[in-house]
Amino acid sequence: MELLSLAAKDILRRKAKSLYLLAAIVIPVAILSTILLTLDNADSSLSTLASKFGFTMSVQPKNVKVERIDQIGIVIGEYIPESIIATVESAVRSRIRNDREPIIIAPRLYLRTDIRAGKSPVNSVVAGVDFQAELAAKPSWKVTSGRWPAGESEAVLGGTYARANNFSEKDGITINGREFRVVGVLQDYNASEDYMVFVPFRVLQSLSSREGFLSLVNVQNVSLDRDRNLLSSLVADLNGKVPNIKALAPQQFSTMKYMLLKKTFKFLFSIIAATVFISIFAIFNIVTSVLFSRVREIGLLKAVGASRSQLLAVFLSEYAALGLAAGIVGYPAGMVITYLLDSLVLNLGAGVRVSPAVILIAVASGLLCSLTASFYPTYQLSKIKITDSFRTQWEV
């Protein structure tokens, strides 16, 4: 039998009190894990959304409100002159060092209209796009069946849109009186594009009588992707100098959102710090009351030869074990709370991932809480006089 097994046997003997103490440590650990996991999920969710968008920057009409990152790139009913393409390209070109570096400019025109396919009309969002530029910017954009449009009268459908309306490749559809053949159905991306119909940009301009206008321009450039400061200055410059447009960078937007979330959590962290402090105080009280009820036991251990350091080793290892267990229990508890918080309130949609860093922090904070709270009472009681310990159960 060794010192640690003595500690283990004490934990097992006082099951109810040990569980009570464990619960007191689990609470701050679970709350801390929840905050860290939610921040991690928020970061991951916003980055996923930003990368799903596929472009570095989007320029759209000024009076279109964008409150969420997944709203970037969708503009219906508002238009800007096509001359913006040259303005944007020139602004980007003036900032990047390599003249040969490609700048992908992908204009889009959106139109809400009824689409006929021999049945009743389906109110739909039609996107006029430059397929070549879109595919160059978003290599991950794929058709699950069929191919990409090659002619002016060919269209592809968003995956969800095709399924919802029972459309498939080779079907014929009519948009504003013009016949199109569906040549492909897009893969689902869990984005608004899953619900759209895509036709060539110039064709939609003509069909909607919006020649010389577009809904937005998406831009992609490697240098801007790499250098956030460069991107920020370009966005600020365009917004400041070109009237009636709004330049938005999804990465910047996601960072902004993340920072906002982080700021909110900073505030929450101060509440957590207070919670942890109160928890430590509660643990301190529990430990003190448990230890004082064991005064005679401490006296007996000292009488048979336990030194103060050996007593500290026995009792602190007991509380360290509970802190460790609380860390191990607190992390999954935090995962469950994070999942519920996301499902019911935040809707970040990134799912709850296992984070080794948060596991480490959870275990370390469990240990820290239990050892911080138990050290002082343990130290004080290790100094108790043996004869005093036998005289009284509750007073030192």
Partner 1 sequence: MNAFIQTQALKKTYQLGDQRVEALRGIELTIAQSDFVVFMGHSGSGKTTLISTIGGLTRPTEGSVSIEGTDIWRLNDRELSAFRNRKIGFMFQSFSLLPSLNVLQNVVMPVIFRKNGKREKTDAIRERALSLLAGLEMKKKIDAHPSELSGGEQRRVAIARALINEPDIILADEPTGELDIRTEREVIEIFRAINSQYRKTIIVVSHSLSWLESAKTVIIMKDGLMHLDVPDPVEALMGRACRP
Q: What are the residues binding partner 1 (CB under 8 A)?
A: 1-3, 6, 9-10, 12-13, 296-297, 300-310, 385-387, 390
Task: Report the 10 Å Cβ neighbour count for 371.
Answer: 16
Given the complex with partner 1, which of 303 and 354 has the nearer CB atom?
303
Given the complex with partner 1, which of 7 and 32 has the nearer CB atom?
7
- Cα dist. 316→25, 226, 308, 375, 385 in Å? 15, 50, 12, 7, 19
The least CB distance from residue 372 to partner 1, in Å, is: 24
Q: Do 189 and 195 meet the contact criterion of CB atoms below 8 Å apart?
A: no
Which residue, 166, 136, 172, is CA-closest to 154?
172
Dihedral class, residue 205 (left if φ above 0, else alpha if ψ from -120 to 50, else beta): alpha
Given the complex with partner 1, which of 2 and 67 has the nearer CB atom?
2
The least CB distance from residue 344 to partner 1, in Å, is: 44
The least CB distance from residue 296 to partner 1, in Å, is: 5
The least CB distance from residue 287 to partner 1, in Å, is: 17
Which residue, 92, 88, 115, 93, is CA-closest to 214?
88
Given the complex with partner 1, which of 126 and 306 has the nearer CB atom?
306
Given the complex with partner 1, which of 140 and 392 has the nearer CB atom?
392
Q: Enumerate residues 6+ apart whose C-beta is below 8 A from 336.
A: none
Given the complex with partner 1, which of 1 and 150 has the nearer CB atom?
1
The least CB distance from residue 320 to partner 1, in Å, is: 18
Helix (H) or strand (E) holding 196: strand 196-200
Q: Enumerate residues 6+ apart whose C-beta is below 8 A from 135.
A: 141, 148
The least CB distance from residue 326 to partner 1, in Å, is: 21
**Alpha carbons 3 and 320: distance in angstroms, whole number:** 13
Check residue 226 and report its DSSP letter. H
